[in-house]
A and B are shown apart, each in its own frame.
Chain A
Amino acid sequence: MISAKIFRRFLFPGTSIFLFFACISNVDLKIGSENQQFVLNSILDTSKDTVVARLTKTKNITSAESFEAVRDAEIVLFENDKELGHFTYSDSGAYFLVYNPKPGLKYRLEAETGDGKIWGETTVPKETEARFEKRASSIEGYQVSLEDNDDDDNFYWITATGYVGASEHQYKNIACIISSDFEYADDFNRYTSEGTFKFEYDYYLRFSDNQLTDSTSILFRPECVNSPITVFLLSTDYHLDKYMKSSLLLERMDLYAEDTPIIYSPQPVYSNVHGGTGIFGSFTGVSQKFSKD
């Protein structure tokens, strides 16, 4: 899409004829904390042996204080309605349960806070058959070939991690951009590009399986990360997919709106947590690490 940046560039100067008269002032909107909510967050990753859940509270948007952690809650994980165990509180609102989630199973996370029960449910996506290869011909990049599972609705996200910075001060980071020409990619985080690939995507390239054939190959190139690079194909559940997409949309809008976000109306970030807000989602992933050569 024509980026929000360009949109902003024409909208702002356009309104500037009237902004000539405009004034900007500080305002106290008298928005209080009377509607404070519990926030339950957890994402199941089938490659991890520990499930982490965080329980905190919302705070007033103009408050400079840190988020209030909820320390004494009882958090329980269920697998296909069978209780797996109670989480242990660590710090800063984080609770842990040693368990490795399984693909294809349904999980329910419940937190009892004393002020009511907060809960969410997710079904972990089945594993995807995929393989990666590095392309070093005329167009450099990585190619992922995947077999879509026809039985389920699948939501795929491609990304990569690598290293940034001088070799002695390197730190690991997610790719800032995924470049690709893939025609079925979701354009919600897309920019047009003048480079080798037609399009660039913020952090992830998302696509669903609506228009895929059983076997699909996608060529992509992660930007601003150095070797060794690990490339990923994530298959997320419905809830995590919506949470990621709504979060990234807002981030993109917020980035381009800068100080005065008049070009968009904010929207609620997706939540599947009942009795509060937050996300309880899951994903399975396929990855491969590629060293320098």
Chain B
Amino acid sequence: MNIKYQIKFVAIVLFSLIVFQPAFSQQNSTISGYVSDASSGERLSGATVYVPESGKGASCNEYGFFSLTIPSAQTTVVFRFVGYEPFVFKLKIPKDTVLNVQLNANNTIEEVKVTATSKEDFLLSPAFGMHRLNAKQVEQIPAVLGEPDLLKAIQLLPGVSFSTEGSTGFSVRGGSPDQTLIQLDGVPVYNVNHLWGFMSAFNNDAISETKLYKGSLPARFGGRLGSVLDVRMKEGNLKKRTGTFSVSPIAGRYTLEGPIVKDKVSFMVSGRTTWANLLLSAAQRLEGQNNEESQLLTYGFWDINAKTNWMINRNNRLYLSFYTGRDAFVTEDGGGRYQDYTKFSYNWQNLTSVLRWNRIFSPVLFANFSAYNSRFRQEYLNKFDKNGKDEYKGYNNLNDWSLKGDFDWLPETGVSFKFGFQLSNQKFSPEIISYTSDSTSFTLNDDIFTRNIISEVYLESEVELPGNLKGSFGLRGGNLATQNKNYWSLRPRVALSYLFSEQVSGKVSWSRMKQYLHQLQNTTLGIPTELWVSSTDKIKPGTSDLFSAGLFWKLKGKYQFSAETFYTSLQDVIRYKDGTTALKERGDSWEDYVVSGKGESYGLELMAEKTTGNLTGWIAYTLSKSTRQFDEINFGKIFPYAYDRRHKLNVNVNWFLGQKSKKGMVIKRNLSGTFNFASGKYITLAEQEYQAIPLPLMEGSRYRADWFATRSYINSVNNYRMPDFHNLNLSYRIERQSADKTIIWDFSVYNVYNRLNPWYYYKKGDQMKQITLFPIIPSVGFKYEF
């Protein structure tokens, strides 16, 4: 591997751009700056700047920065962001000018609801297949036990399917969960689950905005095969101290944000913890289990988000973000005078931290540099002696150190470039096992780790082509250096959009992707026993080709319709061999029990969305098919992928019922509902059984004789589709808002008509049984904002 060469290359590119770019920029007058929220100072990613006279415009990048080159004559400039009052003014700019604009939220009675995409993104941008959700939208979607959950909210979008009901595990366009890059403030989060996958690791009170990219993937994103979920934390209010305290039946959250130095430095800190442990203790007490000789179970999780940002000066800004979350489970059994003692504990923890530096080199060149670390650690302990040493301990570790640079160069209106680099040093230490007793001690697998260096650069450009054609062209390339092997790759990205009329556009795209790490999943439940492993000398990186095409129609400014088709081809994806169980202790490498194969998925997504007014929401329908093929699984035959939901329909409605004033308080009422339908989940189910021949020397054996006399006949993996899934969820919300505080009560009912959706089937005697995890569940949530 020639790391030095790669670093030198990146340095030369950066130096050239910084030195030579003023020559381009000085030919026009450029307005540039940030657009932010007037009340909090929070940057507004996606806000637009528009010049009516020329019809030219630009969008703010993810840091709220814009740059627009306009004629020097007097010009009208309009700043807009959905949910905010437009800001219009006339100006004459003889030279490059910095404009930092603050927009006021629209709080009139005709409350304008936030929208998924702006018109510019929706119709004009070649990039498509992108959805935007903010924290308020997520909060208004009815959820199990009233706990708002980002990862469940995105499952309502077209092309996103789910594993089991109530789970945060999701699949985008037929990809596996690990094929979505989930990043928080630009840092990959390797485990996004709490509570065995029933809650996501994202505390909604700490989140500002989320974007899901699933169609054309810009070249600035790499490292995954299918999609990107880009989650942004709140930056911290620069104007005044605010906070929230929220309670749901399963968890509590507290968030505080405010200025450290007004308009210059701010902070945000948010913590969340579950009450599950209290519920479990109460349940055990009720059952009389909490005594010396019975099994004792404890479970808890918590997470903390923290962020500070410092506006050093007009051109420089620093952000420091931190996230950590931990789940811990302990069960103890026995230990009384006559009983063997066993203790089993299992915990997993994420830790991410990132330092980002926003730098405006010139009105047309913006840069963001990030240095981050993301860690994920799973640990389990099996202890057999309460007082002495007799224990197994195992852990899986992933440690990712990265340095990134992202540049936005906007030399003239209608032409923009993004380019950058990423250097990552990733260490994977899977399945390290140690055994300690009074007499012996040994460690397995401590030498089985993978240290990889990833060096990548990218360039993407968005240009206006003749006619109504607009193009986005990108290339991402680089190298994965494993211990003894280099994997070089170049991945083109192409997206074209054509504006048929002011209201209708068509788009096509192709993205080639590479994935250098894999998640091995060996249960049907999507729980965190999943193991992250890297590509190695033996295991190749995964490759995918994503093709998309779509038609987009915007009607009367408040209705959006889209129809997208997609085809995805996956190569060199891996999974466990049959029969591999979780939590191994073996001395072999994990590479010995995985197989490599391929996959395919295709489908049609339809979406109709109303973005403004008292009644907002969307209807999304997906028709899709997804398959996998591995030489050593299912005897080499193609089988349906577990996340294949042939039909999926989601209706998400939010109805603002109005507001009234009473004793100095504004009372707002809101009704939200979701209706969800999906084809049943594929499972492997024995529909028949057959008489088996005894294994050698087992004839006449009395051990499990009945079992060995019979085998289940399963002709294929995922041979059975469960009945269709559907439910209706409602939420009624009352906000009592005064000058300095808001109290929100949320009354929700999950699964209103008590549909008994199957979660699992099993056979007991001659009868098949069904477990339904979520029948009708009412809940109440409370939130206090100050």
A residues apposed to B, CB below 8 Å: 1-2, 4, 6-7, 9-11, 13-29, 31, 33, 35-37, 39, 41-43, 45, 54, 56-64, 67, 93, 157, 159, 161, 164, 171-174, 176, 183, 187-188, 192, 194, 203, 232, 234, 236, 240, 244-251, 253-255, 257, 259-269, 277-279, 283, 285
Contact = CB atoms under 8 A, between A and B. Distances in A.
B697 interface: yes
B697 A263 contact: no
Interface string B470-507: 00000000000000000000000000000000000000
Given A6-B382, A59-B688, A187-B584, 9 more contacts: A1-B585, A9-B344, A18-B773, A27-B758, A31-B685, A42-B693, A173-B703, A244-B695, A268-B578
A39 B690 contact: yes
Contacts of B711: 247, 250, 269
Given A268-B634, A269-B712, A26 B767 contact: yes
Interface stretch (B76-84, B276-284, B603-611): B276-284
Interface in B683-723: 683-693, 695-698, 700-704, 707-708, 711-717, 720
B585 A251 contact: no
A285 B696 contact: yes
Interface stretch (B218-226, B522-530, B643-651): B522-530
Contacts of A183: 587
A22 B773 contact: yes
Contacts of B766: 62-64
B756 A21 contact: no
18 contacts: A2-B583, A7-B529, A14-B299, A15-B525, A17-B299, A21-B773, A22-B773, A29-B768, A43-B696, A57-B690, A60-B687, A62-B763, A188-B579, A236-B696, A254-B707, A263-B582, A268-B578, A278-B690
Contact of A266 (B299, B686, B759): B686
A13 B289 CA distance: 13
Nearest to A165: B702
B703 A58 contact: no
B762 A173 contact: no
A2 B345 CA distance: 12
A7 B582 contact: yes
B715 A1 contact: no
A47 to B, nearest CB: 10
A59 B766 CA distance: 12
B111 interface: no
Interface centre among A17, A20, A203, A260 (most CB of B within 10 A): A17
Contact of B717 (A19, A234, A268): A268
A36 B344 contact: no
Contacts of B771: 19, 22-24, 260, 262
Contacts of A262: 524-525, 760, 762, 771
A23 B776 CA distance: 11
B701 A174 contact: yes
Contacts of B703: 173-174, 176, 203
B390 A194 contact: yes
Interface in B319-367: 329, 331, 333, 344, 346
Given A29-B761, A62-B763, A194-B390, A22 B696 contact: no
Contacts of B524: 262, 264-265
Contacts of B684: 265-268
Nearest to A269: B711
B392 A192 contact: yes
Contacts of A194: 384, 390
A14 B329 contact: yes
A83 to B, nearest CB: 23
Contacts, number: 265
B503 to A, nearest CB: 46
A259 B717 contact: no
A255 B707 CA distance: 9
Nearest to B579: A249
Contacts of B698: 174, 203
A227 B502 CA distance: 90
B743 interface: no
B689 A2 contact: no
Contact of B696 (A35, A171, A234, A251): A234
B344 A58 contact: no
Nearest to B772: A23
A6 B703 CA distance: 22
Nearest to A62: B766
Contacts of B299: 13-14, 17
B707 A251 contact: yes
A35 to B, nearest CB: 7
Contact of B693 (A19, A41, A266): A41
Contact of B695 (A247, A250, A285): A247
Nearest to A69: B691
A228 B380 CA distance: 42
Interface of B: 166, 195-196, 198, 250, 276, 279-280, 283, 297, 299, 329, 331, 333, 344, 346, 380, 382, 384, 390, 392, 394, 435, 522-525, 527, 529, 578-579, 581-588, 634-635, 683-693, 695-698, 700-704, 707-708, 711-717, 720, 756, 758-764, 766-775, 777
6 closest A-B pairs by CB: A249-B579, A41-B693, A2-B583, A27-B770, A31-B687, A58-B688
B579 A35 contact: no
Nearest to B642: A265
A56 B380 CA distance: 46
Contact of A2 (B585, B700, B772): B585
Interface centre among B283, B704, B771 (most CB of A within 10 A): B771
Contacts of B384: 194
A178 B514 CA distance: 45
B522 to A, nearest CB: 8
Contacts of B760: 260, 262
Contacts of A285: 696
Contacts of A4: 581
Contacts of A35: 687-688, 715
B718 to A, nearest CB: 8
A283 B696 contact: yes
A188 B704 CA distance: 18
A283 B720 CA distance: 35
A59 B710 CA distance: 11
Given A4-B581, A7-B582, A268 B716 contact: yes
A266 B578 CA distance: 9
Contacts of A7: 529, 581-583
A10 B769 CA distance: 22
A61 B689 contact: yes
A20 B283 contact: yes
Contacts of A164: 702
Contact of A264 (B166, B280, B581, B767): B581
B688 A22 contact: no
Given A11-B196, A174-B698, A251-B708, A25 B770 contact: yes
Contacts of B196: 11, 14-15
A10 B196 CA distance: 10
A4 B634 CA distance: 23
A24 B588 CA distance: 40
B696 A10 contact: no
A60 to B, nearest CB: 6
A11 B695 CA distance: 31
Nearest to B523: A263
Nearest to A260: B762
A25 B690 contact: no
Contacts of B767: 26, 62
A37 B713 CA distance: 9
Contacts of B696: 43, 45, 157, 159, 234, 236, 240, 244, 283, 285
Contacts of B764: 259
A246 B579 contact: yes
Contacts of B585: 1-2, 187, 192
B774 A21 contact: yes
A214 B524 CA distance: 42
B689 A19 contact: no
